[in-house]
């Protein structure tokens, strides 16, 4: 009866009521796999990340989750925890929590991106840059290069130097070309920006890079070329298979 009620509450989106029902059920039936599975759904819906983490080993043991599924849910939960910490505790709280995580979790690209993005949102741009630099030494993750233009740093030359070095190692690194092109735009080096954005676009499509390239061309008074590039960006936006970034 109580189990049916919990399912109904979850189905109705009344997650808090479902949690109360399921918590009571778990006390009485601690190893019931249906209850554990419903609790997992409930914790996810409510963003109750710590209880979800505590539940994962039980679900794996009960064969309701594979190790791979549990690992992905752990990353999801850790992302949620980072976001929860960021609001009240800011960048300092984020850094403290990150320091306590296992080396394995810190190496997860999805979690690393979430951490650095949260730092940037909290205006901890220099700390974010240090993390990006250290992470890129270990692995050239494309998404990390894409974060560099988002950094609000007064002296952009260390960012530019980092990207130039990356391109010396791999001249076909599209995200590094894109990031460097964006930084050159801000430095008003229009021709350099054009060159790197064109190279990035020769390697993969990106609506935002077409927009940046149009800007670089416009600044050099290449009006017709800028118009053509803008049209290309629009056609990509209208295409259902558009690869935008």
Integer Cα distance of 129 and 125 in angstroms? 6
CA-nearest of 174, 218, 220, 219 to 197 is 174
* pLDDT for residue 130: 96
* pLDDT for residue 241: 54
* pLDDT for residue 88: 85
* pLDDT for residue 244: 45
What the block records as the tokens of 33 is 């796999």
What the block records as the tokens of 141 is 């993750």
What the block records as the tokens of 62 is 């009960």
The string of pLDDT tens digits covering residues 135-172 is 999 888 889 999 999 999 999 999 999 999 999 999 99
Q: pTM of the entire structure?
A: 0.85
Integer Cα distance of 4 and 230 in angstroms? 56
Q: Which residue has the tokens 């740093």?
A: 153
**Which stretches of the chain score pLDDT less than 70?**
240-245
* pLDDT for residue 46: 97
* pLDDT for residue 21: 95
Is the distance from CB of 218 to CB of 226 less than 8 angstroms?
A: yes
């Amino acid at each position: 009866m109580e189990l049916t009620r919990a399912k109904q509450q979850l189905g109705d989106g009344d997650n808090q009521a479902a949690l109360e029902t399921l918590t009571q059920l778990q006390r009485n039936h601690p190893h019931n796999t249906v209850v554990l599975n419903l609790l997992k759904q409930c914790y996810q819906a409510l963003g109750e990340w710590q209880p979800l983490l505590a539940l994962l080993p039980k679900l794996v043991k009960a064969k309701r989750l594979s190790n791979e599924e549990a690992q992905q849910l752990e990353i999801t939960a850790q992302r949620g925890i980072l976001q929860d910490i960021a609001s009240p505790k800011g960048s300092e709280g984020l850094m403290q929590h990150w320091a306590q995580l296992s080396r394995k979790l810190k190496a997860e690209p999805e979690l690393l991106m979430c951490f650095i993005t949260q730092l940037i949102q909290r205006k901890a741009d220099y700390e974010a840059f240090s993390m990006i630099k250290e992470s890129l030494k270990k692995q050239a993750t494309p998404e990390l290069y894409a974060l560099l233009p988002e950094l609000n740093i007064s002296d952009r030359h260390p960012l530019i130097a980092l990207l130039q070095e990356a391109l010396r190692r791999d001249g076909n690194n599209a995200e590094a070309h894109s990031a460097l092109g964006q930084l050159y735009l801000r430095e008003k080096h229009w021709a350099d920006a054009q060159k790197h954005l064109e190279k990035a676009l020769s390697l993969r499509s990106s609506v935002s890079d077409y927009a940046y390239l149009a800007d670089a061309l416009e600044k050099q008074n290449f009006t017709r070329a800028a118009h053509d590039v803008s049209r290309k960006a629009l056609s990509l936006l209208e295409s259902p298979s558009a690869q935008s970034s």
